A and B are shown apart, each in its own frame.
Chain A
């Protein structure tokens, strides 16, 4: 290897030095070689990217365009799709479930934010102060995220069982009134939020913890020397330092919870007006009740417009930070 290596270099430099006489020709040849390399590199690069570009084009870029087209079409798979203008949108606006689904989704998102956004924040602050068993807390809180969502929901379905479920047994044990959990319209939504929060709070907690650990210790030290109490340090050091990550997580969570599907689908079904969400309604329009892909696409377009704004702000924020 080493011998070959040095041989190669020697012959290379020797060849370069031998025809100094024809500088112009050499330059031109070098330029041509460079161009040739550039063309080769470009061809090669696009060969490397071909599979990726094809996947993105077919399964990401094209569906985006198709989704918008579809929302203006009537599709029945027998005859060609027919342009119907805004009829799909009119149809979904006229559907009373449309408003129910948005209202339920909004409720879910707000509940989930109260539980899933603030609880992890305080949890992370407390865990970060603990000098023992930090690993245990991290693993414990992140564990549910490793389980398939359907498994989590089915497991909680056992807990929620109004007859002999664990939760009602506990309530009975401490003398509190039992609840119907997912089966009563007043508690169904909060039951969904509880499962979802249990399953997903690990991600936010770990991200908060990482952010907390990147706060320079000198800031706390300086505040302490100035005589700031623990509460003042929390208020004037921790909170300002966490502002960015809190905003990012807020956006992420809104985007994620607005797309909630598994919990209502599995726990309360696609027909229950108490818990039908936007995603469940899209599913229902396309695959169960209406079999109308146009209506489903119209609903998706509305969801996309709403969430696109949040996603754009999120991407903007996180990219500026780099």
Chain B
């Protein structure tokens, strides 16, 4: 506490360290700091705490007024019950399967397109890129109905993809953000490296696999994380295309279970906690790259 605020002109902002070092301001600064820490903890962490501990209470305690802030009854088996009886396990693995498959297909498709556009530079390449980027202009909402009908009866092939993973994977692969981010990154990889590799006898595929992919790890991470999180969080589209309860995602299943009225409150709460845990864990592990990727990618997305 006694340490002085240091002056660092490169990283300085609105309020300078000399401002802060004046006696009254120092007090004000720490007052604001602690006030905000408590406020943020209450606003953003407390609901999560409430969710995780709420599921531990027995149903009678859950509906008690006033509510208890520390569970008096302790029932960790509620999580097991939700996992088994609400079949959260099934929906959880459905969602995990859709997310991983969606991630793989999105990356494969986007890398192929971006590599071709960036390094092979085919004729009409700019046109293809433009047409893909134009889809960023479409609000997802505007395509909802025609995309649903397309998935129900794919043109030419006349396949019905409803209630299959493909209904999530293939439309998800038409993601211009991925193509754009990857192409911009590939553009920065000097062609000299690729030329010398090709003189050494490396084919186009080999170059992509052994040179471009390893160099692109950071940008692949950005694309991967956004793909998995997007798949995990999506609701409206899975709600439309996965109407068979057996194949639903966790979000859709929880929404459906909550409206039947036959699900015990504590088990539903446990389901909510289970649904949030994986993404929050991913976030806490990768927070640095997620937060910096967000501010880097979002402006261009």
- Tell me the A residues contacting B by CB distance below 8 Å: 5, 8-9, 12, 41-42, 44-46, 48-53, 55-56, 58-64, 66-67, 70, 125-133, 136-144, 146-151, 154-159, 163-164, 166, 169, 172-173, 198, 203, 206-207, 209-210, 212-213, 215, 217-218, 220-221, 224, 230, 233-234, 237-238, 245, 248, 255, 258-259, 261-262, 265-266, 278-279, 282-283, 286-287, 293, 296-297, 300-301, 303-304, 307-308, 311-312, 315, 318, 321-322
Contact = CB atoms under 8 A, between A and B. Distances in A.
- Chain A contact residues: over half helix, strand or loop, or mixed? helix
A139 B284 contact: yes
A9 B275 CA distance: 58
B174 A142 contact: no
Interface residues of B, number: 109
B190 interface: no
A52 B110 contact: yes
A304 B252 CA distance: 25
B2 interface: no
B283 A146 contact: yes
20 contacts: A45-B122, A59-B173, A60-B135, A61-B135, A64-B135, A70-B145, A70-B149, A132-B33, A138-B291, A151-B254, A151-B275, A172-B66, A209-B295, A217-B10, A220-B14, A221-B12, A265-B255, A282-B141, A293-B145, A300-B146
Given A147-B279, A293-B145, A63 B291 contact: no
B16 A67 contact: no
A297 B146 contact: yes
A127 B39 CA distance: 13
A321 to B, nearest CB: 7
Contacts of B200: 5, 8
Interface stretch (B77-85, B213-221, B233-241): B233-241
Nearest to A209: B295
Nearest to B253: A150
Given A136-B37, A138-B291, A303 B142 contact: yes
Contacts of B116: 44-46, 48-49
Interface string B91-111: 000000000000000001110
A304 B139 CA distance: 7
Interface string B136-167: 11111111111111110011000000000000
A55 B251 contact: no
Given A147-B280, A150-B255, A154-B254, A55 B170 contact: yes
